Amino acid sequence: MTYRIRSMEATDYSDLVRLWSEFSGNTMTGADRPEGFREFLARNGRFCCTAEEEGHVVGSVMAGSDGRRGYVYHLAVAPDRQGEGLGRMLMERAEESLREAGIEKAHLFIYADNPAIDFYSRVGWHLREDIEVMSKVLIGDEYMGTRRESE
């Protein structure tokens, strides 16, 4: 397949939400509302890219930096395009942009039961077993960004 990988744009929002909603293991929160998305791109757009095929969005990766560490959010590849190397290409592009910015280390957060852990391992990411993650919701309801028991 021939993909066009380009910088993510604010106008991609609707197509990206549709893509992100196509697979399990992805949680969207209030930060993913249009205004939060635009603000994130304004700060981190150089680390975010979109893959198109014949004008249709079929993949994306959002990454960002706090100036010290990099973070990967919302890597997504359309279900009918998985296994073709597109996820690897998107991750390589995000990682390279972080390296170019002088970021030495990057992290991503993933649910422990997400089968994508195998993908990330294959592309060089390491599952950390020496740390725990703690979160606190500052704006929104207590379940924002977590999966409820019924999921």
Query: Mean pLDDT over all residues of the chain?
Result: 90
Q: What is the pLDDT of residues 85-137, one digit of tens each?
A: 999 999 999 999 999 999 999 999 998 888 899 999 999 999 999 999 888 87
Does 137 reside within a domain? no
Task: Kindly report the CATH number assigned to the domain that includes residue 97.
Answer: 3.40.630.30
Residue 150 has pLDDT above 50, yes or no: no
Domain-embedded: residue 32:
yes
Range(s) of the domain holding residue 57? 4-122
Is residue 68 in some structural domain? Answer: yes
Name the burial class of residue 89, with classes exposed (0-12), middle (13-18) and buried (19+) by CB atoms within 10 angstroms of its CB.
middle
Name the domain count of the chain. Answer: 1
3-state secondary structure at position 83: coil
Question: What predicted TM-score, i.e. pTM, was given to this entire model?
Answer: 0.87
**pLDDT value for 142:** 60
User: Quick count: other Cβ atoms within 10 Å of Cβ 120?
Assistant: 18
Tokens found for residue 25: 């293991």
Is residue 130 a part of any domain in this protein?
no
Among 36, 93, 101, CA closest to 69: 101
Residue 131 lies in a domain: no
Q: How far apart are the first and last CA of the chain?
A: 34
In a domain, 18, yes or no: yes
